[in-house]
Chains A and B, each alone.
Chain A
Amino acid sequence: MTADNPTRQAPSQVVTTETGRMGRVAYARIAPNEDLVQGIEKMCLAEGFENAFVRGGLGSLVDACLGTLDGGYQQVTGPAVEVVSMAGEVRSTESGTPVASLAGIVADTDGNVYGGPFLAGWNPVCMTFEVTLEEWLPDNPDTA
């Protein structure tokens, strides 16, 4: 990551591929005022998932905070801001801490849409958030 812009990745020095298979499937309902990104990370802690892909996600946020290219953020004011499309994954650090990277499209109370990465800690759930994760099991976990 660049030092002054955590939403942008520095160019990778090595192109990597990772083979593996899908494992367990988990579904969660995240309650109001929980952060979307950290809620999915906590779900991985609860279910024992180290790595996972988002298979589905929909729900509402109080307000949405999406990262911008210059390292700032765009705030979309609700309530509610609906998450209408979402993709992402969870990867665990060497110490086992799950880190979710989520991006998506949100709609405000007029149905206008905005897109970008969801910033951890700044996207509180409004009414509910439904998420389905599918566990990713790398063939060589040491390189994951």
Chain B
Amino acid sequence: MTRTIKTGYHHPRMLRHAGSFNPVRIQSMHYQSGRHIRLELTPGRTLYDALVEPLYKIGVTSASTTILGGYFDHLEYCVAPPDSSGKAVIAYSSPIDAGEAFMVFGNATFGKDMEGRPLVHCHATLRTETGQVKGGHIVPQASVIGPTPLSVLVTAIEGFELRQAFDEETNIPLLKPHRES
């Protein structure tokens, strides 16, 4: 639902989460100088494999990436409605099939999951096979790069790593910066 309002103040609403409040609201880390990489995503590979394999080969295990526009042979995405189970405030929907789609622009964070495996968290705007422009959480393992390589600007993270850990406040696993293990 959306509404357009000419003027006036409204009080932005907050949400009460399932777990205990963490007084640290911004968890940040920095390093001295950015290392940038231009990556081409290989046609026919999944978004996950096309991002992870070449970056691991050059020793990059945590990064922030900008995915420039390009075609996918197949693309799936999720939206984030309220969680009917009550375990968390929201939960991802089942994957939505966008078919043969064009990714207009995307951002993906690259880190490690709770088992230490590579994790890609990607949000993007896309045009579906039926011509609708949509947006959401991309399913990287189910989305296959189309016939033309997609360009990606990678900002590699060095000196610390992005690792998924269970977040007590929201009651779900989330990516956060950690000192390298």
Chain A residues proximal to chain B, CB less than 8 Å: 22-35, 39, 42-43, 46-47, 55-60, 62-63, 65, 68, 70-80, 82-86, 105-114, 121-124, 126-128, 130, 132, 134
| Smallest Cβ-Cβ distance to A70: which chain B residue | B6
Chain B residues proximal to chain A, CB less than 8 Å: 1-7, 10, 12-15, 17, 22, 24-34, 64-66, 77, 79-82, 88-90, 96, 104-109, 121-125, 133-137, 155, 157, 160, 162, 167, 169-170, 172, 174-177
Q: B14 touching A130 by the CB < 8 A rule?
A: no
Least CB distance from A89 to B in Å reads: 15
- Residues of A near B89 (CB, < 8 A) are 32, 79-80, 126-127
Least CB distance from A103 to B in Å reads: 12
| Smallest Cβ-Cβ distance to A47: which chain B residue | B30
- The main secondary structure of chain A at its interface with chain B is strand
- The main secondary structure of chain B at its interface with chain A is strand
Q: B26 touching A25 by the CB < 8 A rule?
A: no
Q: A63 touching B133 by the CB < 8 A rule?
A: no
Nearest 3 A/B pairs, CB to CB = A107-B135, A28-B28, A84-B135
- Residues of B near A121 (CB, < 8 A) are 12
- Residues of A near B170 (CB, < 8 A) are 32, 127-128
Q: B30 touching A24 by the CB < 8 A rule?
A: yes
Q: A109 touching B24 by the CB < 8 A rule?
A: no
- Residues of A near B160 (CB, < 8 A) are 27
Given known contacts A85-B106, A124-B14, A24 and B31 CB-to-CB distance under 8 angstroms: yes
| Smallest Cβ-Cβ distance to B15: which chain A residue | A62
Q: B22 touching A31 by the CB < 8 A rule?
A: yes
- The complex places the Cα of A82 from the Cα of B125 at a distance, in Å, of 10
Given known contacts A31-B22, A57-B107, A107-B79, A23 and B12 CB-to-CB distance under 8 angstroms: no
- Of A24, A59, A63, A83, the residue contacting B12 (CB under 8 A) is A63
Least CB distance from B7 to A in Å reads: 6
Least CB distance from B156 to A in Å reads: 9
Least CB distance from A70 to B in Å reads: 7
- Residues of A near B1 (CB, < 8 A) are 76-77, 108
- Known pairs A46-B26, A77-B3; list 15 more (Cβ under 8 Å): A24-B34, A25-B157, A26-B30, A29-B175, A34-B26, A39-B25, A43-B26, A56-B65, A57-B107, A62-B12, A71-B7, A109-B80, A122-B12, A128-B174, A130-B109
| Smallest Cβ-Cβ distance to A25: which chain B residue | B34
- The complex places the Cα of A110 from the Cα of B77 at a distance, in Å, of 11
Q: A55 touching B80 by the CB < 8 A rule?
A: no
- Of B24, B66, B105, the residue contacting A31 (CB under 8 A) is B24
Can you list 17 residue pairs at the A/B interface with Cβ under 8 Å? A31-B22, A32-B89, A55-B66, A56-B64, A58-B109, A59-B123, A68-B4, A71-B7, A72-B4, A72-B5, A79-B15, A84-B125, A85-B125, A107-B134, A111-B77, A127-B88, A128-B167
